[in-house]
Amino acid sequence: MPVQTTLNKLLASFPANFLEKRAGFLLLIDPDKYDEPTLLKLVEDATAFGVAAILVGGSTMISNRLDEYIRHIKSVSPLPVIIFPGSVVQVSREADAILYLSLVSGRNPEYLIGHHVIAAPLIQQLELEPISTAYLLIESGRKTAVEFMSNSSPIPRHKPEIAAAHALAAEYLGMKLVYLEAGSGADYSVPEEMISLVSKTISVPLIVGGGLRTPEDVHRKVIAGANFVVVGNAFEHRHDKIYLQEMIAATNLSRQNQSVPR
Ligand code: 1GP
């Protein structure tokens, strides 16, 4: 029997989700953007509505209270908490795992291997599970924080075959997940044509995020082939429970057939 790692928990839901025509919903929280009661309420509600895991992080996160935030999140939710690091300082022994991201769409060696070498001994010391993830930045209108901070060019949005070749190379290199990223608050999310080609090309789970604001956005990405969707920014602007519920429910396509998403 495989060890019950956080990655295995996510992967276990992958084939089942595929058969049930649904995707996992990953709630992204940048703790700097919430007051604590709002944050905890969001986590509680998202847990009740069936989120797969909580991602914590952000490109410019400056909080030095990451341990404390994660402890608080875990006090109200049994879900895995996975660090989505914007920089090497975002590590915590309180998390279950960390997305060990390699920015394979870029050619900046620091984001391909440099930061990983710095962070690896610390991750081992903290006994934090690294989840090897290919991170592909996709052009999305204006320059995003990730593009600026990483000093790397995104893949043109009208070149799905370039994205697919990068994703396949990453899978061949042994990466366990592929993440197509338009950037937080992106004007344009990852195009469905690209999601579709990448999902047909690779056999590891595909994560899609950046600029998803409506249940219909989520729905379209899942139909195109996303196995997990990530939403963060939208909930920083809208705190109502019904919106949260509809966003999460939009990952379930069989349910969507019964009610048209807004
Ligand atoms: C950003 O993909 C994530 O890194 C989520 O994007 O914040 O726009 O939902 P949003």
170-217, pLDDT tens digit by residue? 999 999 999 999 999 999 999 999 999 999 999 999 999 999 999 999
Q: Which atom of ligand 1 is nearest to the CA of 189?
A: 8
Give the residue whose CA is nearest to atom 5 of ligand 1. 210
- Give the mean model confidence (pLDDT) for residues 210-232: 97
Q: Which atom of ligand 1 is nearest to the CA of 235?
A: 9
pLDDT (0 to 100) of residue 78: 96
Tell me which of 21 and 135 has the higher pLDDT. Answer: 135
pLDDT (0 to 100) of residue 255: 59
Q: Ligand 1 pocket, 184 CB below 6 A? A: yes
Q: Ligand 1 pocket, 185 CB below 6 A? A: yes
Residue 130 to residue 242: CA distance in whole angstroms: 34
Tell me which of 10 and 220 has the higher pLDDT. Answer: 220
Residue 206 to residue 10: CA distance in whole angstroms: 12
Give the residue whose CA is nearest to atom 1 of ligand 1. 184
pLDDT (0 to 100) of residue 63: 65
Residue 50 has pLDDT above 50, yes or no: yes
Phi, then psi, of 58 in degrees rounded to 5: 170, 150
C-alpha angle 171-26-136 in degrees, rounded to nearest 5: 35
- Give the mean model confidence (pLDDT) for residues 152-181: 98
Q: Ligand 1 pocket, 10 CB below 6 A? A: no
pLDDT (0 to 100) of residue 13: 73
pLDDT (0 to 100) of residue 4: 74
Q: 14-28, 80-94, 109-123 — which is least confidently predicted?
A: 14-28
- Give the mean model confidence (pLDDT) for residues 242-249: 97
pLDDT (0 to 100) of residue 22: 83
Predicted TM-score (pTM) of this structure: 0.94
Bridge partners for 178 per DSSP:
134, 206
Q: CA–CA distance from 201 to each of 161, 184, 241 (Å)? A: 10, 25, 36
Question: Ligand 1 centre from 213 Cα, in Å?
Answer: 10
Q: Ligand 1 pocket, 86 CB below 6 A? A: no
Q: Ligand 1 pocket, 231 CB below 6 A? A: yes
Question: Ligand 1 centre from 232 Cα, in Å?
Answer: 5
Handedness of CA 110, 85, 116, 204 (dihedral sign): negative
Please provide the average confidence, as pLDDT, over all residues in the chain: 91
Question: Ligand 1 centre from 210 Cα, in Å?
Answer: 4
Can you identify the CATH homologous superfamily of domain 5-249?
A: FMN-linked oxidoreductases (3.20.20.390)
Which pair of tokens denotes residue 9?
A: 């928990």
Which pair of tokens denotes residue 145?
A: 């924080």
Residue 3 has pLDDT above 80, yes or no: no
Residue 52 to residue 46: CA distance in whole angstroms: 9
Which pair of tokens denotes residue 88?
A: 């090497």
Residue 257 has pLDDT above 80, yes or no: no
- According to the per-residue pLDDT averaged within each range, which of 11-15, 87-91, 228-232 is highest? 228-232
Which pair of tokens denotes residue 250?
A: 């939009």
Residues of the chain above pLDDT 90, percent: 78
Reference 55, options 25, 88, 32, 35; nearest CA is 25
